[in-house]
Amino acid sequence: MPTAARDIPQGNGHSDSLARTVSNSFGTLDLSTSPTATFHSPQSSYGGHQKPSTKQLKPFQTQDVKVLLLENVNKTGQDILRKQGYQVEALKSSLPDDQLIEKIRDVHVIGIRSKTQLRANILKHAKNLIVIGCFCIGTNQVDLQYAAENGICVFNSPFSNSRSVAELMIGEIITLARQLGDRNNELHNGVWNKVSAGCWEVRGKTLGIVGYGHVGSQLSVMAESMGMKVIFYDVVNLMSMGVASPVHTLEELLRQADFVTLHVPEIPETMNMISTAQFDQMKQGAYLLNASRGSVVDIPALIKAMQAGKLAGAALDVYPNEPGGNGEHFTNNLNDFTEDLRKLKNILLTPHIGGSTEEAQSAIGAEVADSLVKYVNLGTTSGAVNMPEVTLRSLTMDEPNHVRVIYIHKNVPGVLRRVNEILGDHNVDKQMTDSRGDVAYLMADISSVNVSEIKDLYQSLEDLGTSLYTGSSTLDGVGR
């Protein structure tokens, strides 16, 4: 594929057809038209990283945009992307690193879920990548900083599966309290075992929620409606739902709760946040539920607490290492404690299905795919998790000779002045810039630009060179 600057189409005919292509291809998005888009990353160095060569995206025809979707991204999302005319390859599983590296070399857009790890060792091969869509809530699987420093925008879906996770937790709380998993297994094996010892109502019991965000707060409301007393612990001060009470420390929560449920993100502070010391602080016969990330619980310590009878039950939906796709085995090959875990009584082991409902997956598919389309076609970063959020009213067919410039750059003094000196040769109709840490994002719509001048514009922006971050992208559009 030719570089951005070289591939600028000449003449009105092409621009007309381009504008129509993009305009007509917006399906679920209410965009009257869109600029043609050219993302482009000038060479520069950042923090010693090997800089990817110039990104080569030329969606003057949206058919040029290559999209790789992994981990069975919902059809709703796939359809939105296909409707744009993008080339979409959708796979049901994640990929081993070597295959991922091969595939990621070419694509402009990648969509993943919680399994695929996009760290610097993978992203450094992604020479054309401009955007990552996490079709899930968590973004811990992506090196967000590295992505930003390389001009790669990252989107997720912040709450579309929260309700599904919270409902699963309600189901599991009752299932654990009544030992339903064991009774169900026994009867499937032909064993009648009618017991009441160690089986409880949940009414009047205390639920301790660790992490009172989207999932935790939904769960709070539902648990109270079942007559549970809810306490929660969060590192930020949050409004209580219903009559739930905040506690000041994790230890306070662990000492009071009959059921402890974890809904924190995977960050350094939450790694193994529940380990031997925390199990010791829990009530005798309490239950632990984890649907956050596998690294949050020290699972060998959990196994010991279960074997010692300290805990009456547990539910795990997430594990430090998870299989790449359906049909793969859940054995000690993945985590060396797996066999011991599988032998425990009253433990619910689910294959990371907290967010796996038709409703959640369809909503996530639509939300993330829409974000990707708006970014690829318009440069809009609203909702991005690693970039400043920048948007402008989109160009319309009524605005001829306009170009949208997207310039992601190192947030250092003087860059904007120099960029505006370059843009100032034209009429800057509207402009927005914002920064997030070391990365700044500029969007400008300039008019009275001849198609033939765009190449020089790119070159001038690229020539700012060393003052830019590794990733610097421009998007320009010509609507005639």
Ligand X SMILES: NC(=O)C1=CN([C@@H]2O[C@H](COP(=O)(O)OP(=O)(O)OC[C@H]3O[C@@H](n4cnc5c(N)ncnc54)[C@H](O)[C@@H]3O)[C@@H](O)[C@H]2O)C=CC1
Q: Which residues are the active-site residues?
A: 293, 322, 352
What's the CA gap between 454 and 234, in Å, rounded? 51
- Given the complex with ligand HPV, which of 114 and 338 has the nearer CB atom? 114
Residue 472 binding result from ligand HPV, ligand X, none, given CB thresholds of 5 to 8 Å by partner type: none
- Given the complex with ligand HPV, which of 143 and 462 has the nearer CB atom? 143
Among 161, 380, 433, 474, binds ligand HPV (CB under 6 A): 161
- Given the complex with ligand X, which of 130 and 302 has the nearer CB atom? 302
Amino acid sitting at position 95: L
Residue 306 binding result from ligand HPV, ligand X, none, given CB thresholds of 5 to 8 Å by partner type: none
Q: Is 34 exposed, middle or buried (0-12, 13-18, 19+ CB in 10 A)?
A: buried
Residue 38 binding result from ligand X, ligand HPV, none, given CB thresholds of 5 to 8 Å by partner type: none
| Minimum CB distance to ligand HPV, residue 457 (Å) | 40
- CB count within 10 Å of CB 188 equals 8
Give Cβ neighbours of residue 406 (< 8 Å, ≥ 6 apart): 39, 379, 441, 442, 443, 473, 474, 475
- Residue 18 tokens read as 């381009």
Q: Is residue 216 part of the contact set for ligand HPV (CB under 6 A)?
A: no
Cα 345-349-351 angle, rounded to 5 deg: 165
Residue 208 binding result from ligand HPV, ligand X, none, given CB thresholds of 5 to 8 Å by partner type: none
Q: Is residue 73 part of the contact set for ligand HPV (CB under 6 A)?
A: no
| Minimum CB distance to ligand HPV, residue 378 (Å) | 26
- Given the complex with ligand X, which of 136 and 468 has the nearer CB atom? 136
Residue 113 binding result from ligand X, ligand HPV, none, given CB thresholds of 5 to 8 Å by partner type: ligand HPV
What one-character DSSP code corresponds to residue 370?
A: H
- CB count within 10 Å of CB 109 equals 25
Q: Is residue 162 part of the contact set for ligand HPV (CB under 6 A)?
A: no
| Minimum CB distance to ligand HPV, residue 266 (Å) | 9
Q: Is residue 110 part of the contact set for ligand HPV (CB under 6 A)?
A: no
Residue 330 binding result from ligand X, ligand HPV, none, given CB thresholds of 5 to 8 Å by partner type: none
| Minimum CB distance to ligand X, residue 262 (Å) | 8
User: Using an 8 Å Cβ cutoff, are 78 and 68 in contact?
Assistant: no
State the helix-helix crossing angle for 180-188 and 162-177, rounded to 10 degrees.
70
User: Using an 8 Å Cβ cutoff, are 77 and 111 in contact?
Assistant: yes
Q: Is residue 423 part of the contact set for ligand HPV (CB under 6 A)?
A: no
| Minimum CB distance to ligand X, residue 121 (Å) | 22
- Given the complex with ligand X, which of 52 and 354 has the nearer CB atom? 354
What's the CA gap between 343 and 217, in Å, rounded? 33
- The site for ligand X (CB under 6 A) is made up of 137-138, 159, 161-162, 165, 210-216, 233-236, 263-266, 269-270, 291-293, 317-318, 352, 354-355
- Given the complex with ligand X, which of 255 and 418 has the nearer CB atom? 255
| Minimum CB distance to ligand X, residue 319 (Å) | 11
Alpha carbon 72 to its chain centroid, in Å, reads: 15
Q: Which of 373, 406, 370 is nearest to 387 (CA)?
A: 406
Among 19, 88, 136, 385, binds ligand HPV (CB under 6 A): 136
Q: Which of 82, 85, 86 is nearest to 74 (CA)?
A: 82
Whose CB is nearest to ligand X? 213
| Minimum CB distance to ligand HPV, residue 105 (Å) | 24
Binding-residue pattern over the window 350 to 369 for ligand HPV, x denoting contact by CB under 6 A: --x--xx-------------
What one-character DSSP code corresponds to residue 451?
A: G
- Given the complex with ligand HPV, which of 136 and 274 has the nearer CB atom? 136
Residue 251: strand, helix, or coil: helix
User: Using an 8 Å Cβ cutoff, are 473 and 39 in contact?
Assistant: yes
What's the CA gap between 233 and 211, in Å, rounded? 6
Binding-residue pattern over the window 310 to 349 for ligand HPV, x denoting contact by CB under 6 A: ----------------------------------------
What's the CA gap between 128 and 112, in Å, rounded? 17
| Minimum CB distance to ligand X, residue 163 (Å) | 10
Alpha carbon dihedral 11, 14, 19, 24, in 10-degree steps, equals 160
Biggest distance spanned by C-alpha atoms of the chain: 84
> Please, how many CA atoms are within 13 Å of residue 156, restricted to the half-sphere of its CB?
17
Alpha carbon 323 to its chain centroid, in Å, reads: 19
Residue 269 binding result from ligand HPV, ligand X, none, given CB thresholds of 5 to 8 Å by partner type: ligand X
Q: What residues make contact with ligand HPV under the rule CB under 6 A? A: 113-115, 136-138, 161, 352, 355-356
